[in-house]
Amino acid sequence: MVRTRRSLGRSPSFLIFFVVALVLAVVIRGQYVDYYKGLELPSGSLTLKTKLPEKPTPATPAVAEKPPVTLPLKVPFTTQAPFALWDPLHEEACEEASLLMVYYYRTGQKFNSPLEADTEIKKLVAWEESNGYKVDLTVKELVAVAGKYMKLKTGRVIVGPTVDQLKAELMAGRPVIVPAAGRELHNPNFTAPGPIYHMLVLKSYDETGFIVNDPGTRRGENYHYGFKTIMDAMHDWDPDNILNGQKAVVVFD
C-alpha cells in the first residue's frame, strides 16, 4: 500500500509534463511546416527553357547580277576623219578610230564633238610614232597599244573566228575590232578603189549580217555588212599581200 501511494503521488506531475511536451511538439511541428511551405514556389511560376533561343542567321547579301546585254551595243561613233579632212594622217587612222570607239564604250564615254574625236586620234597617232609603231597596225600591235597607251590590259586576239564566235562576243557585251582588206568590203561610200587595209567595229547582228561602226565613212554608224562579206574581207595586216593576212579579230574582256 505504501508503494501505491508513492506512484499515485507522482502521476499528476507526469501527466502535466506529458501534456506540456505534447503541446510543444505540436507547436514546433506547425512552425516547421509553415517554414517549409514558405520555401515552396507557387505552382506555374517557373517556366523551364528546354532550348536556348537560336541566334538569327545573318542574311546573305544578294549578288548583284549583271544587266542583260542589249544589242546593238552602244559604241560611240566617230569617223577617222572627223572634219572630213582626208590627209595622209586621217587616211591611215582607221585603227586609231576603231580602238578609240571601243575605249569610249568601255569607259562609258561619248565623243562630245568632232574636235574631241580628232584631237584624240592625233594624240594617239603621235604616241604611236614616238614609240616606234608604223602606219599600219597588226591586231597584235593594236592590243599592245591599248595596253600601253590606254591601260586596257584585257585585249586578246581571236584567230580564225567563226560567225557564231563573233556573235557570242557581242552577246557578252564585247565589241569586236575587225581588220580587213578594205576593198573586199565593197562599201560604196569609200572613195574608189577603197583602202587596202582597214579596221572597223562590230556591235550587233541580225539574220543576214553584222551591224558595225565603220570609221571609213561619215555614213559608217550602224552600217550593215553581210556575214560573208565580213568573213571574206577579214585579214590582218600583211605588208606583202593583204589577202594573205590571217583571219583574226580583237576583243577586250
- pLDDT tens digits along 62-80: 555 666 789 999 999 999 9
The answer as to whether 75 is a domain residue is no
pLDDT of residue 28: 52
In terms of Cα–Cα distance, which of 86, 99, 115, 93 is closest to 191?
A: 86
What is the CB neighbour count within 10 angstroms for residue 155? 21
- pLDDT band of residue 209 (cuts 50, 70, 90) is very high
How far, in whole angstroms, is CA 180 from its chain's centroid? 32
Domains of the chain: total: 1
Amino acid at 226: G
pLDDT of residue 3: 44
The answer as to whether 128 is a domain residue is yes
The answer as to whether 33 is a domain residue is no
From 42-46, 95-99, 175-179, 205-209, the region with the lowest mean pLDDT: 42-46
- What number is the average pLDDT over the span 78-101? 98
The answer as to whether 26 is a domain residue is no
Residue 60 to residue 84: CA distance in whole angstroms: 56
Which range marks the domain in which residue 199 is found?
88-252
pLDDT at 162 over 80: yes
pLDDT of residue 42: 43
The answer as to whether 238 is a domain residue is yes
Q: What is the CATH number of the domain that holds 240?
A: 3.90.70.10
The answer as to whether 234 is a domain residue is yes
pTM metric for this prediction: 0.75
The answer as to whether 142 is a domain residue is yes
Amino acid at 98: S
pLDDT of residue 140: 98
Residue 5 to residue 12: CA distance in whole angstroms: 12
pLDDT at 181 over 80: yes
Strands 221-226 and 176-181: unpaired
Residue 188 to residue 105: CA distance in whole angstroms: 27
